[in-house]
Amino acid sequence: MPAFIPDILAAIAMVGVAYNLAGAALAGRWRDTPAKRPAATPSITMLKPLYGPEPELAVKLSGFLDQDYDGPIAMVCGVSRADDPALAAVPATARTVIDPARHGSNAKVSNLINMMREVDGEIVILSDSDMSVPRDYAARIAAALEEPGVGAVTLLYSGRGETNGWSRMAAAGISWGFLPSVMVGLATGLAKPCMGSTIAMRRETLDAIGGFERFRDLLADDNAIGMAVRELGLQVVVPAPIVTHSCTETSLAALAAHELRWNATVRMLDPAGYAGSIVTYPLVWGLIAWIAGACWWVPFVALLARLALAERIDVITGRRTAPLWWLPARDLLSFGLYVGAFFTRRVDWRGAQLHMARDGRMTAEPETRYP
């Protein structure tokens, strides 16, 4: 092996160390502060496309209605089948749309298209069914949308395991990996996120971008919605708070399938950025450098940087995502799935096999039925 190889590997690891320390420092920007109250309280419709059973779904849905907000809030929940188990969790005050009509390959967007006939709010807030939010959620969004030039609001999210150790391992991937990467990307201007955790906009903005019909064949519909809003010359802003994504994976296979889909989507949307994110795994590179002949302190420093970032994120989100001693295993798993996404052309999404095209569109095989 050439003598310079360990030095190159160690340098990559040190770049990753700097990235992790920057993430730990920047995370403070999203430390929760008292909510700014909106000057007006326009009516809000919460959109909840549902599919299948989820732990604590009724509690999560109710949280979106139990808001410290003076204006009217309505919720529309949508499913494609009358026997969907998610219907049992729908709040009594919510409107329910049961419609099997399919519009395009994206089942969630198809559901949203069907649900729009029940929407009458001045503000429309779309969020994934596995999200939990604080009581000032609606007020913060309404206040953010009042700012000049703001077309949409999206929110960062951390992970919380809901089932067993694998769900906590999945949560660690979100909180200790994904979340700080978006924070650094926002601070440097390299990231322009719009995430399914929350997409909020005025009804006229949604109409101006062509409604949900425009995104019916796109895998990354949330990202595409953000791009469409920016095409209007409007901003997509990311204020506090950090909301919570409930992880329900119960096996390594489920975790890998979910994260491969997510990684493959990011790679498809931003190939150069995804390739560049290889430096965000300093512990892995430190270990490789050490095996190749670099000094022992390279992986040690990388481990300290990763632990500092994980601890910082957990302090800001107010909970221990997973035991810190899991972090090395989590990083090795993340790196393996990162590499695997370069070879993925088909992903699983809630029982449907999605075939990914280079333009971001997809075709879908039939969905599986509930057991």
Residues 131-182 pLDDT 10s: 999 999 999 999 999 999 999 999 999 999 988 999 999 999 999 999 999 9
Last residue of a domain, one of 227, 249, 271: 249
pLDDT of residue 2: 72
Q: Is residue 325 classed exposed, middle or buried when 0-12, 13-18 and 19+ CB atoms within 10 A define those classes?
A: exposed
Query: Is 68 a member of any domain?
Result: yes
Share of the chain above pLDDT 90, in %: 70
Number of domains composing the chain: 2
Q: Specify whether the CB–CB gap between 333 and 169 falls below 8 A.
A: yes
pLDDT of residue 371: 46
pLDDT of residue 368: 45
Which residue's structure tokens are 């895998």?
219
Q: Is residue 261 classed exposed, middle or buried when 0-12, 13-18 and 19+ CB atoms within 10 A define those classes?
A: buried
In the structure, what pLDDT confidence band is assigned to residue 220 with cuts at 50, 70 and 90? confident
Output the six-digit token pair for 1: 């092996």
DSSP state of 122: S
Residues 244 and 259 in one domain: no
pLDDT of residue 346: 59
Q: Is residue 69 classed exposed, middle or buried when 0-12, 13-18 and 19+ CB atoms within 10 A define those classes?
A: buried
pLDDT of residue 345: 60
pLDDT of residue 367: 47
Residues 173 and 263 in one domain: no
Residues 175 and 311 in one domain: no
Quick check: 186 pLDDT over 70?
A: yes
Q: Of 29, 13, 311, give the one whose Cα is nearest residue 184.
A: 29
| CA dihedral sign of residues 223, 179, 110, 69 | negative
Output the six-digit token pair for 159: 């992970």
pLDDT of residue 224: 93
In the structure, what pLDDT confidence band is assigned to residue 366 with cuts at 50, 70 and 90? very low
pLDDT of residue 170: 96
Quick check: 358 pLDDT over 80?
A: no
Residues 48 and 20 in one domain: no
Output the six-digit token pair for 214: 């425009």
Task: Quote the mean pLDDT of the chain.
Answer: 89
Residues 162 and 270 in one domain: no
Residues 15 and 76 in one domain: no
Quick check: 205 pLDDT over 50?
A: yes
Range of the domain at 299: 4-28+254-364
Q: Is residue 170 classed exposed, middle or buried when 0-12, 13-18 and 19+ CB atoms within 10 A define those classes?
A: buried
Q: Specify whether the CB–CB gap between 176 and 321 falls below 8 A.
A: yes
Q: What is the CATH number of the domain that holds 116?
A: 3.90.550.10
Bridge-partner residues for 235, per DSSP? 150
Distance in angstroms (rounded) separating the CA atoms of residues 115 and 126: 11
Instruction: Report how far Cα 272 is from the mean position of its chain's Cα atoms.
Output: 20
Over residues 258-275, mean pLDDT: 83
Distance in angstroms (rounded) separating the CA atoms of residues 188 and 333: 27
Residues 131 and 213 in one domain: yes
Over residues 286-315, mean pLDDT: 94
Pairing relationship of beta strands 73-79 and 95-98 according to DSSP bridges: parallel
Share of the chain above pLDDT 70, in %: 91
Residues 15 and 70 in one domain: no
CB neighbours of residue 85 within 10 Å: 15
Quick check: 104 pLDDT over 60?
A: yes
Last residue of a domain, one of 189, 218, 249: 249
Residues 288 and 350 in one domain: yes
Cα-only R_g, the chain: 21
Distance in angstroms (rounded) separating the CA atoms of residues 164 and 169: 9
Residues 43 and 146 in one domain: yes
